[in-house]
A = this chain, B = another copy of it.
Amino acid sequence: MSETANYQRHILFESDFFEVVDITWTSSGANTTPEALKTHGHGWSECSVLVNEGVFENTTVLGAKTEVQVFEKGQVIHTPKGAKHSLRCLSKAGRTLHVYTPKIKDLAQQPLNFKTDKNNGLSESLKLNEPLRLDHLKILLAEVQKNSISASSPYFMNQLFSGVSPQMMLANELISQTKTTLATQEASPVFSQVESEVIKSLCSQIGWSPKASEGVVVPGGSAANFMAVHCAKQKYFPDMKAKGLQNKIFKVYVSQDAHYSFKKAAAVLGLGTDNVSAIGVDEKGRMKADLLEQAITADKNAGFTPLLISATAGTTVYGAFDPIDQLAAVSKKHDLWLHVDGAWGGPAIFTEKLKHLTQGIELADSVTFDAHKLFGAAMTSAYFLTQHKGILLSANDVSGADYLFHDNDDEIDRGKMSWQCGRGADAFSFWTIWKSLGTAGLGQFVDRLLATRKEVETFIKTEPRLTILGIPEYLNLCVRITPPADKVYAAADWAKIVREQLKTEHKAFVNFSTDKQGTFLRFILSHPELETQHMVQTIKWALEVQ
């Protein structure tokens, strides 16, 4: 917290867990009002301010959302964990009582709140056998936190997610306190409603009729892709549920840049990894519909059974979107299941600016959507959505669970549609974020990061050692970095070297990938508070690596 001359802090109570502070505000010099407290976070402390005297304007920044309110004597301003706020005294003088829990610590969140040391010295203390006192456990947990990588910093750009939103924290706390299972309506009445609401709203955003569509929360985007293959099999060969795959050799078609989970699905569901066809892509990284058509025809001629096409909406490296409408035409012609893996790029459906990338998504039989990636829900909050209402029940419901499902509700127990039995309220944190930002706000979330990407592109173009790869359309930015003139021998590995150094110096955490010419940096724009300056700073650090 920055201190200015015209307010005075008096600590009333201080411990590791709590701090109670009295602040007196007085106007200084020419200013008619005392200077404001600058926008500041409290790390993972919650903060409550009681106005004892005067009138204050409070601005809260909740990740992608900003709120301004005026508070008077007797009112309390509350800033949840992970949020930021600023305070301005509107009257000539004021007095506020501040309570923080835990005590504010300078976590140096930007950019240093992750550690990457391999030898953290914790191995011994992590071992399980002897009981540990609560106070010692708390010390150990603090060590765990200090040595863990946190996604809270905007300099965390390594994964397809970043940021820890206060809305998510509030949701997670409530989930912890109730600890119910989503298997049955009776055990989880409200969380079941929440899950239905999120799924209905996602289906509607895709363009599906609420009456014809449905979905289920799954433990990650991979699981949603597994479910797509499973439902496709159910649609075309419903007797296989009881009889097994028997003699069929199914074929699944994805782009060569698609997520590896389709191979896992093929291994697990009994299709075999050899039967996942990786179709070639164009210069933007998009699956070529003509190559797909050729592959299907060839497989049919060879006696195989084409089953499913998956269009990737947002590939992991380049953020490319397969042409869904073109693939839909192919799937229609051959009567195949069309899936859209929108684990990373699904949020494009929320903004007009990117609607062209997901054109035709309403024609898909099913869609994967991950809210723990771009929108910052808890890990994980993933959805399998389909416009074949009823197929989840017919594919997954089995007898033998009368002890659990009592069939006395109007609503179907959601556990019957799932591969899981007991499972947590994974949809809740996304619901809290969506509820807070609103549907339009989710679109603005994407738009703001797109604008940041464009500003960063402009900066990159001024740097001769940097080259943007491909044609960025989404929130991935792949950048080739050439080494300093005296290190040209290391050109192919340079991005990897740069990335390691940024990481070990605790500056920033970005990923790298490799193409024919060698390694390059991959920046992911995902943190709700990511600004151009964070990325420009990271790139400047990258250019300084020797």
Contacts and interface: CB of A to CB of B under 8 A. Distances in A.
A78 B17 contact: yes
A380 B260 contact: no
Given A133-B67, A172-B176, A140 B242 contact: no
A420 interface: yes
Interface stretch (A217-225, A320-328, A459-467): A217-225
A115 to B, nearest CB: 8
A411 to B, nearest CB: 9
Given A123-B193, A188-B149, A270 B267 contact: no
Given A13-B20, A159-B181, A246 B243 contact: no
A241 interface: yes
A438 B129 contact: yes
Interface string A261-300: 1011011111111110000000000000000000000000
Contact of A179 (B171, B267, B379): B379
Contacts of A474: none
B247 A400 contact: no
A62 B13 CA distance: 25
A423 B380 contact: yes
Interface in A368-391: 370, 372-373, 378-380
A301 interface: no
A187 B149 contact: yes
Q: Which of A50, A152, A188 has the most B CB atoms < 10 Å from its CB?
A: A50
A193 B131 contact: no
5 contacts: A144-B174, A144-B190, A145-B178, A220-B420, A373-B422
Nearest to A172: B176
B420 A190 contact: no
A359 interface: no
Interface stretch (A161-169, A479-487, A528-536): A161-169
Interface in A147-192: 147-152, 158-161, 164, 167-181, 186-191
A131 B179 contact: no
A380 B424 contact: yes
Contacts of A177: 44, 81-82, 145, 150, 152, 164, 169
A151 to B, nearest CB: 4
Nearest to A183: B159
A16 interface: yes
Given A181-B379, A242-B272, A378-B424, 12 more contacts: A13-B50, A69-B135, A140-B435, A141-B171, A148-B188, A164-B178, A172-B175, A219-B423, A246-B249, A268-B269, A380-B423, A380-B424
Given A62-B134, A400-B260, A174 B145 contact: yes
A201 B130 CA distance: 12
A240 B512 CA distance: 33
Contacts of A352: none
B148 A220 contact: no
A405 to B, nearest CB: 9
A436 B131 contact: yes
A164 B423 CA distance: 15
Contacts of A269: 268-270
Contact of A245 (B16, B244, B263): B244
Interface in A188-206: 188-191, 193-194, 197-198, 201
Contacts of A400: 258-260, 263
A312 to B, nearest CB: 12
Nearest to A265: B419
Interface centre among A117, A275, A424 (most CB of B within 10 A): A424
B48 A18 contact: yes
